[in-house]
Amino acid sequence: MNPATLTPIDEFGFHAKLRQTAGNALVLFSGPDCGNCRQAERRLPAAAGPGIALFKVDVQKSTALARQYEVFHLPTLFLFRDGHYHAKLECEVTPDKLRQAIESALARPPEEEP
């Protein structure tokens, strides 16, 4: 997987794909008609930096998954570690703020998956 791209995943392969992903992974829930989502998608590879797997979920195609993760605002980012849910990230998609949010989340125990 090229770390500079976001790999699309849907509700049918979501959990299996994440279980196969070692290390840290970010999942961006976004919509095709969302300008902020397109901007976040463009910024995410550079902001996340190397070594983080990047995935995106189209909420219009995967509505059950969006409901499961209680996605009410777009874009929404979730952090997974070694295939397990760790936290919802609430930050701007800039290198400094995203890396700080990841470090802060990883310093805490994993949250319960929604």
pTM for the model stands at 0.93
pLDDT at 1 > cutoff 70: no
Tell me the HSE value of 47 on the side-chain side, using a 13 A CA sphere.
23
Q: Where are the beta strands (DSSP E) in 9-52?
A: 24-30
CATH for the 7-107 domain, from 3.30.360.10, 3.40.30.10, 1.20.1050.10, 1.10.1200.10: 3.40.30.10
Q: What is the pLDDT of residues 41-67, one digit of tens each?
A: 999 999 998 899 999 999 999 999 999
Averaged pLDDT, 91-113: 96
- CA separation for the pair 46, 66 (Å, rounded): 25
Tell me how far apart the alpha carbons of residues 63 and 1 are, in angstroms, rounded to a whole number: 25
Where are the domains positioned within the chain? 7-107
Q: Return the pLDDT at 3.
A: 43
Please report how many Cα atoms fall inside a 13 Å half-sphere around the Cα of residue 61, on the Cβ side.
15
Is pLDDT above 60 for 107? yes
Average pLDDT on 28-33 reads 95
Average pLDDT, the chain: 94
Query: Residue 4's pLDDT is what?
Result: 57
Run of H or E residues at 105:
helix 95-107
